[in-house]
Amino acid sequence: MPVTAPRIVLVGPPGAGKTTVAAALAERWHLETRDTDADVESAAGKPIAEIFVDDGEPHFRELERDAVAAAVAEHDGVLALGGGAVLREETQAVLAGYRENGGVVVFLDVSLAHAAPRVGLNQARPLLLGNPRARWQALMEERRPVYEAVATVHVLTDGRTPAEVAETIEIELAALRVASVEGDE
């Protein structure tokens, strides 16, 4: 019985390009894309910024946890996770199980210098309120070890288009396949 699982899961901080790279990969591979932030907004019936204000971050994180678990179980295309989704132990466990079954998690990394113009470090990102640059840097210090721990592949997106990042991911996936075949011999 075939197991439904994403072809690939993208993780990383705000501004890494998860949503746009997911779209580029989905187009290349003729697959559907899914973004857990959009799933959360759909389930809540309001934007993430409003969820934070109206219901608080803990409620948002619960919705996010549920969205990730559902997407990994149901979606067979390209999946982009919200930037903080990997912080929950339950989500880390879901991703570990996905990897153990042959799934690939890609950590899309980005420096602050390249993330800032991409996200605009704006008010629509509740965790970046106040001093957005300092908050982004603090988030990365907290999250980087988790992104690295859950990832199979690490790709830097600085100064690269989504198509270039997608091509790099394809090269990394081919290298993983070769390594897997050689390891089986």
What pLDDT, in 10s, does the model give residues 63-111? 999 999 999 999 999 999 998 899 999 999 999 999 999 999 999 999 8
Domain that holds residue 163: 8-184
In-domain check, residue 1:
no
Query: For the chain, how many structural domains are there in total?
Result: 1
Burial annotation 42-58 (CB, 10 A radius, 16+ → b, else e) = eebeeebbebbeeeeee
Of 79, 66, 87, residue with least CA distance to 145: 87
- pTM value is 0.88
pLDDT, tens digit (0-9, with 9 covering 90-100), for 1-36:
345 689 999 999 988 999 999 999 999 999 999 999
In-domain check, residue 3:
no
CA 69 to chain centre: 13
